[in-house]
């Protein structure tokens, strides 16, 4: 049985066609790799930079998925001269629920469940300036829900605002979070992962 279920949902500003938010999630042997970016601004130009980020990350993770600090620094360098982006990278080890992550700038990462946690991002903008980058660690418990979302979604909601969050499958959760808490003035993207232990 799968150790985790996950889904990535997005909704471009004004229903599209271009979004400056982009993400990917990929199972790779014993782990799941996740990347989420929010490029500054909106529209076609932001979308092009977002696609560049995801292309870079996919290719980069294919070569080496362990050194998140190095990958983030390389993405930072790759984005110099562009409008810049904020972003989060995660690697979730399926057997243990161990989560390595780096989150730079205004991206929300939260865990709901037995090990509820709100992660504190490193201040900065990839392509411009970041504080010194460091990988951080957390652990997911059985049944925990990890959310990674952009600032096109209000960050201060709780279980009381969305009680179905803990029982829902990742697709309904990711889509439901955008529907309920998405801001109309921005692109929105939400990754949801349920760890099944």
Per CB under 5 A, residues contacting Mn ion are 38, 150-152, 186
**Measured from the CB atom, is 144 or 151 closer to Mn ion?**
151
To the nearest whole angstrom, how small is the minimum distance from the Cβ of residue 15 to Mn ion?
16
Whether the upstream peptide bond of residue 77 has omega within 30° of 0, thus cis, is no
* Contact predicate 43/74, CB 8 Å: no
* Contact predicate 165/157, CB 8 Å: no
Q: How far apart are CA 165 and CA 163, in angstroms?
A: 5
To the nearest whole angstrom, how small is the minimum distance from the Cβ of residue 188 to Mn ion?
8
**Measured from the CB atom, is 144 or 186 closer to Mn ion?**
186
φ, ψ of residue 70 to 5 degrees: the values are: -65, -40
To the nearest whole angstrom, how small is the minimum distance from the Cβ of residue 50 to Mn ion?
11
Q: Which residues pair with 109 in a beta bridge?
A: 148
**Measured from the CB atom, is 33 or 153 closer to Mn ion?**
153
**Measured from the CB atom, is 4 or 39 closer to Mn ion?**
39
φ, ψ of residue 93 to 5 degrees: the values are: -85, 120
60: left (phi over 0), alpha (psi -120 to 50) or beta: alpha
To the nearest whole angstrom, how small is the minimum distance from the Cβ of residue 187 to Mn ion?
6
């Amino acid at each position: 049985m799968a150790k985790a279920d996950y889904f990535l949902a997005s909704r471009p500003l004004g229903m599209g066609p271009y979004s400056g938010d982009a993400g990917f999630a990929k199972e790779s042997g014993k782990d799941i790799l996740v990347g989420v970016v929010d490029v500054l601004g909106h529209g076609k130009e932001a979308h092009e930079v977002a696609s560049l980020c995801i292309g870079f990350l996919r290719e980069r993770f294919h070569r080496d998925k362990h050194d998140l600090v190095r990958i983030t620094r390389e993405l930072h360098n790759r984005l110099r001269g562009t409008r810049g982006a904020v972003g989060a990278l995660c690697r979730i080890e399926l057997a243990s629920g161990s989560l390595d992550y780096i989150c730079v700038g205004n991206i929300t990462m939260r865990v709901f469940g037995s090990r509820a946690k709100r992660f504190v991002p490193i201040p900065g903008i990839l392509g411009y300036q970041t504080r010194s980058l460091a990988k951080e660690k957390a652990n997911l418990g059985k049944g925990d829900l990890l959310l990674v979302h952009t600032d096109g979604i209000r960050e201060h909601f709780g279980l009381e605002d969305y009680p179905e969050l803990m029982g829902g499958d990742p697709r309904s959760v990711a889509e439901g979070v955008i529907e309920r808490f998405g801001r109309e003035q921005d692109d929105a993207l939400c990754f949801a992962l349920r760890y099944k232990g």
